Amino acid sequence: MTAIPGAGQVLPTDEGAPAGPGRGPRRGRRAGGWSFDTVSFFVVFLGLPLALFLVFVIWPFAQAAFYALTNWSGFTTEFDVVGLANFTTLLQDPRFTNAVGNSVMFGLFIPFITIVIALTFAILITVGGSGRGQVRGVRGSGFYRVVSLFPYVIPAIAVGIMWRLILDPSNGLVNGILTGLGLERFQSFAWLGNVGTAMPVTMFVVVWGFVGFYMLLFIAAIKGVPSEIYEAARIDGAGRWRTSWSITLPLIRDNVQTAYIYLGIIALDLFVYVQALNPQGGPDNSTLVMSQQLFRTAFTEGKFGYASAMGVAMAVVTLVFAALVFTVNRLAGGRSERGRA
Amino acid sequence: MTRNFTTDKSMTTSEPSRRSVLRAVMYTAAAVPFGLPLAACATGGGGGEDEQSASPGGTVDAKNPFGMAENTTIDAVIFDGGYGVDYVEFAGTVLAGLHDGSSVKVSPSTQIATELQPRFVGGNPPDLVDNSGAQSIGFNTILDQLEDLTDVIDAPNVEGTTIRDTLYEGVLEPGTYGDKFAALNYVLTVYGVWYSGTLFEKNGWQPPTTWEEAKALGAEAKKADKYLFLWGTEAATYYQTLAIESAIKEGGDEVRLALENLKPDCWSHDALQATFSIMKEIVDAGYFKPGGSGTQFTAAQAQWSNKQEALLYPSGSWIENEMKDQTADDFQMKGVPSFSVTANAAMPATALHLTAGEPFIVPSQAKSVAGGKELLRVMLSKEAATNFSKTKLAPTIVKDIVPEDGFGSTALVSQTEMLSGAGSDIFTFNFVNTYGMNQEQLPIWNSFLDGKKSVADLTKELQAITDRIANDDTIEKIEVS
């Protein structure tokens, strides 16, 4: 929006030259915002993205919401509109409610654990170093920064497959090390095949994959905090804990919130990871998530209408999650725009 | 942009700030899962009706029984699984030789359902599809869009004999839904329990024929520091197949029909319960290699075929080809029919679970229905069938193709022996595939084989799946007799 007067400002120079052959003045005042510059600007920077957004985002959403009201099988051109029947079935479908439960567990734990670890590392790397002299990170922080990003560089599916091999009961690295240490009970222990361990292990793999990236995000945020603040705090006698809790965290609050929501969205989807680690849904379906159940319903059971209803439900769960994060942040005092300067 | 997101009340009071833009972006991102089921969407695309009457074109005679038009390019989408796609390409070359100017375009796929879904909706499906693999299209969803293939079976093959007379008995049943023969299953699949001939000979073991013998062999295996069975997490239901086979042998058609027609309490039938009980005894005795529920299934199978940590593995006859590269030297793979439960079973010990796999379908809306059928006809010729058996070491549904020496494969010889031993005592069942139950049954079987579930739990949970499908009116049922 602010670009309009900006583009207009170029024109008055023309207007101020009365000797012009009439071209300048005519266009100048009347057309105002409608010069070629302005129009092309609108088309390229507003029209095009908006069109793409409408066609590839909003229109599919609308279609999904519509198909959620039908009994479309997915393979024919015919279907009946069944109203909200799909949603009532959904509420009574133990397979889906179980999947929602699992997704919620992932959505609760993965963002929290990832952020705690990423934040801790970020603080150590940026301001957690020696208490004397300039404010800096621990020794070798540049090295840690690079290394910790490695997992994020690997595609999710490769992460899943790799960990599946590492966790293989008979030939995997994990059990190899554990039995090597004399822990015989891990001989052929199925980490992904026991109800008690399958979900924690899946969470671990996802966290492992994302910590590096979010650490980098927090490092960038902390770098944006003026170091005078840290120095002042240190002069006042604040230790590392105190600075982290009372200075770093409040000043990068917005970044933490953003990270929380993105991670929440990832955790509520999680399709690639669970499909690679436990394609059949895990022991007693303990790692079956909404997206997996959706895919199954659509493609193996041929119920696209019902699957679309699941998609809508998934979106609702995700929006509720985002709303919760905003609310919590606001209640915790995040409304005021401190540190914006 | 922010105006679109009117759901946020605070928005009306504040100027679009960096913060609210950020929030708007997040809402957008949060809505991403919405789009998920729409990987391929838009039902509006199909102009199928007018394409259906696509010109039959060619003249109908014994050399071209379906009247395929001249210069047709047949579009075939073939599941690229254990058998690859080269056997269809081979048939394509033969077809090109028979019909000047026509050719076959073979497209391999491992995701049949996701890849072909938009084409079915759009009204331009391929001429021939091998609807197989984990991502195959459920038959009850597309049944009314498929050609009845009876005319292929009644046509003369390339050599001039009627195709029906060249096929094994019972191989058309797996592709028959109600009264429609919708899928031609090309590969003959013999189910059994497989073992290493060399290993058994060396130790003086006999392959078991009853579950009691199997249990006794388990004790022997323990002494040799091996296990009787092992399993992989995606293939835990192979043991369900084995259990159902044993139960059908024990209780006869009664068991089979109850399961197939989703009858209440079908899993509580005495024959099934007896089988489950003895399996449970074997599980509890520790004769199953632990950790299967966390092991990828081909990795597990390699522990049997390569490391020989377990003696027996229940599977279909595809196992030899599937594990070709991961089988110990001089393994000498052989098979026996699934075990009987008691001596006075309804069917003899030689009775065999025989079915045909790799269902080939011809969609009615395909551009060249005749072309799809013609390619099938060529695949059923002696030349193409021999090529398949020779390169894949598996029999097709075409009889009298595999020679005495089984092209050098002990497993293939043993299949031929099992087939002749069984005579007419063959059976099959389809309900698991028809209703897509496998995915749901897998976790149950993983837990059972892990020793974490009792026979009662197993029965109850399997019955729950059957009951749910039986009571769901939106699922079309196929009556089996």
**B433-447 pLDDT, tens digit each:** 888 788 889 999 999
pLDDT in tens, A252-307: 998 999 999 999 999 999 999 999 998 888 888 899 999 999 998 888 888 899 99
pLDDT score, position A238: 85
Q: Does B225 touch chain A (CB under 8 A)?
A: no
Q: Is the CB of B30 less than 8 angstroms away from the CB of A318?
A: yes
pLDDT band at A24 (very low <50, low <70, confident <90, very high): very low
Identify whether the C-beta of residue B425 lies closer than 8 Å to the C-beta of residue B453: no
Nearest to A168 among B35, B41, B295 (CB): B295
Specify the pLDDT at position A280: 83
pLDDT over 80 at B50, yes or no: no
Report the distance separating Cα B15 and Cα B30, nearest Å: 22
Whole-number pLDDT of residue A182: 87
Residue A217 lies in a domain: yes
**Of residues A197, A281, A196, the one with CA closest to residue B446:** A281
Q: Is residue A267 part of a domain?
A: yes
Residue A339 confidence (pLDDT): 42
Of A117-131, B12-26, B206-220, B328-342, the poorest mean pLDDT is in B12-26
A6 belongs to a structural domain:
no
Residue-level pLDDT at B23 = 56
Kindly state the average pLDDT of the residues B141-156. 91
Name the pLDDT band for A195 (thresholds 50, 70, 90): confident
- A171 contacts in chain B (CB < 8 Å): 299
Average pLDDT over residues B160-176: 88
Interface test with B, best of A89, A170, A291 (most B CBs within 10 A): A170
Inter-chain touch A258–B22, beta carbons under 8 Å: yes
Q: How many residues does chain A have?
A: 341
| B346-375 residue pLDDT tens | 999 999 999 888 999 999 999 999 999 999
CATH number at residue A111: 1.10.3720.10
Contact B30 A321 (CB under 8 A): yes
Task: Return the C-alpha torsion angle B118, A97, A289, B437, nearest 10.
Answer: -60
Name the residue of chain A whose CA is nearest to B235's CA: A280
Are B322 and B298 in contact, with CB atoms under 8 Å apart?
Answer: yes
What percentage of chain B carries pLDDT values higher than 70?
88
Residue with tokens 């081979």: B90
> Helix B382-392 and helix B369-379: axis angle, to 10°?
60
Neighbouring CB atoms inside 10 A of B291's CB total 29
Q: What is the rounded average pLDDT for all residues in chain B? A: 86
Contact assessment for residue B447 and residue A312, using Cβ atoms and an 8 Å cutoff = no
Q: Of A188, A280, A303, which has the smallest distance from its Cβ to B234's Cβ?
A: A280
Answer yes or no: do B121 and A284 touch at CB < 8 A.
no
CB of B442 within 8 Å of a chain A CB? The answer is: yes
Nearest beta carbon to residue A60 from set B29, B41, B113: B41
Burial A145-163, CB ≥16 within 10 A → b, else e? beebeebbeeebeebbeeb
Contact A14, A31 (CB under 8 A): no
Distance from CA of A295 to the nearest CA of B (A): 7
- Pairwise CB contact (< 8 Å): B36 & A303: no
**Beta-sheet pairing, B184-196 with B180-181:** unpaired
pLDDT of A114 over the 60 cut: yes
Q: How far is A147 from chain B (nearest CA, A)?
A: 28
Q: Summarize pLDDT for A216-253 with one digit per residue, the tens.
A: 999 999 989 988 898 888 888 888 888 888 889 999 99
Q: Which residue has the higher pLDDT, A301 or B49?
A: A301
Judge whether B289 is closer than 8 Å to chain A, CB to CB: yes
Contact yes or no for B233/A282 (Cβ under 8 A): no
| Alpha-carbon gap: A90 to the closest alpha carbon of chain B (Å) | 13
Using an 8 Å CB-CB cutoff, list chain A residues near B137.
75, 299, 302
Per mean pLDDT, which range of B164-178, B209-223, B290-304, B458-472 is the poorest? B164-178
Give which of B34, B132, B306, B435 to mutate to test A binding, by max A Cβ within 10 Å: B34
Using an 8 Å CB-CB cutoff, list chain B residues near A60: 34-35, 38, 41
Give CA–CA dist B91/B356, Å, rounded: 19
Query: Residue A165: which of A175, A155, A150, A153 has the closest Cα?
Result: A175
Chain A CB within 8 Å of residue B22 CB = yes
Residue whose token pair is 């395909």: B366
A4 has a pLDDT exceeding 80: no
Q: Provide the 10 A C-beta neighbour count for residue A9.
A: 9
Residues of A in contact with B23 (CB under 8 A): 326
Is-contact B319 B194, C-beta < 8 A? yes
Percentage of chain A lying above the pLDDT 70 cut: 87
Per-residue model confidence (pLDDT) at position B46: 40
Best to test chain A binding among B27, B38, B288, B457 (most A CBs inside 10 Å): B38
In the 3-class helix/strand/coil scheme, how is chain A assigned residue by residue? CCHHHHHHCCCHHHHCCCCCCCHHHHHHHHHHHHCHHHHHHHHHHHHHHHHHHHHHHHHHHHHHHHHCCECCCCCCCCCCECCCHHHHHHHHCHHHHHHHHHHHHHHHHHHHHHHHHHHHHHHHHHCCCCCCCCCCCCCCHHHHHHHHHHHHHCCHHHHHHHHHHHCCCCCCHHHHHHHHCCCHHHCCCCHHHCHHHHHHHHHHHHHHHHHHHHHHHHHHHHHCCCHHHHHHHHHCCCCHHHHHHHHHHHHCHHHHHHHHHHHHHHHHHCHHHHHHHCCCCCHHHCCCCHHHHHHHHHHHCCCHHHHHHHHHHHHHHHHHHHHHHHHHHHHHHHCCCCCCC
Query: Rounded to an integer, what distance in angstroms lies between the CA atom of residue B60 and that of residue B49?
Result: 24
Tell me, yes or no, whether A61 lies in a domain. Answer: no
Mean pLDDT, chain A, as a whole number?
Answer: 84
Confidence of residue B15 (pLDDT cuts 50, 70, 90): very low
Q: What is the mean pLDDT of residues A58-85?
A: 90
CB contact under 8 A, B291 and A281: no
Does residue A41 lie within any of the structural domains? no
Supply φ then ψ for residue B375, to 5 degrees.
-65, -40
Nearest to A247 by CA among A236, A257, A258: A236
> Measured between CB atoms, which of B48, B114, B436 is closest to A77?
B48
Nearest to B427 by CA among B478, B347, B354, B480: B354
d(CA B454, CA B280): 8
Contact B89, B106 (CB under 8 A): yes
pLDDT classification of B400: cutoffs 50, 70, 90: confident
Beta strands in B178-240 (DSSP E): 180-181, 184-196
| Best to test chain A binding among B439, B441, B442, B445 (most A CBs inside 10 Å) | B439
Mean pLDDT confidence for B131-158: 88
Pairing verdict, β B176-177 and B180-181:
antiparallel
Which of chain A's residues have a Cβ under 8 Å away from the Cβ of B291?
Answer: 169-170, 188-190, 193
Output the pLDDT for position B221: 94
How far from chain centre, in Å, is Cα B244? 16
Q: What is the pLDDT of residue A340?
A: 42
Of the candidates B410, B233, B265, the residue with the CA atom closest to the CA atom of residue B336: B410
pLDDT at position B213, please?
A: 94
Answer yes or no: is A296 within a domain: yes
pTM of the model: 0.78
Q: What angle do CA B379, B384, B387 make, to 5 degrees?
A: 140
- For residue B370, the model assigns a pLDDT of 93
The verdict on residue A67 lying in a domain is no
**How is residue A206 written in tokens?**
């996802």
Q: How far is B420 from chain A (nearest CA, A)?
A: 36
Sign of CA dihedral B200, B206, B208, B212: negative
The dihedral region occupied by B403, where left means phi > 0, alpha psi between -120 and 50, and beta the remainder, is beta
Counting one residue from chain A and one from chain B, the pairs whose CB atoms sit within 8 A come to 193
Sequence length of chain B is 481
A289 in any annotated domain: yes
- Candidate from A73, A191, A290 with C-beta closest to B294: A191
CA dihedral B329, B334, B338, B344 (to 10 degrees): -140
Taking only the tens place, the pLDDT of each residue in A198-216 is: 999 999 999 999 999 999 9
Torsion of CA A196, A201, A206, A208, to 10 degrees: 140
Residue of A nearest to B43 (CA): A77
pLDDT, tens digit, for every residue of A175-188?
A: 999 998 988 888 88
Task: State the residue range of the domain holding A237.
Answer: 92-340
Model confidence at B223: pLDDT above 60:
yes
Q: Does A299 contact B37 at a Cβ distance shorter than 8 Å?
A: no
Q: How many domains are contained in chain A? A: 1
Beta bridge partners of B340: B210
Chain A residue nearest residue B439, CA to CA: A280
Distance CA B205, CA B217 (A): 8
B239 pLDDT higher than 90: yes
Q: Does residue B303 carry a pLDDT above 60? A: yes
Which of B5, B28, B43, B121 has the most A C-beta neighbours within 10 Å, making it the best mutation to test the interface with A?
B43
**pLDDT for residue B32:** 47
Q: pLDDT-derived band of residue B309, with 50, 70 and 90 as boundaries?
A: very high
**Any A CB within 8 A of B13 CB:** no
3-state secondary structure of B336: strand
Hey, of B293, B444, B450, which one would you mutate to test binding to chain A, going by the most A CBs within 10 A of its CB?
Answer: B293
Percent of chain B residues past pLDDT 90, beyond the cut: 60
**B141 in contact with A at a CB cutoff of 8 Å?**
yes
What's residue A8's pLDDT? 40
Residue (of B300, B467, B320) closest to B393 by Cα position? B320
Interfacial B residues in 48-77 facing A (CB < 8 Å): 48
The confidence score (pLDDT) of residue A335 equals: 54
Q: Work out the average pLDDT over B414-419.
A: 90
The per-residue pLDDT for range A263-273, each reduced to its tens digit, is 999 999 999 99
Contact B234 A279 (CB under 8 A): yes
Let me know: does B368 contact B127? Beta carbons within 8 Å.
yes
Residue B49 has pLDDT above 50, yes or no: no
Question: What is the chain B residue with the closest CA to A93?
Answer: B468
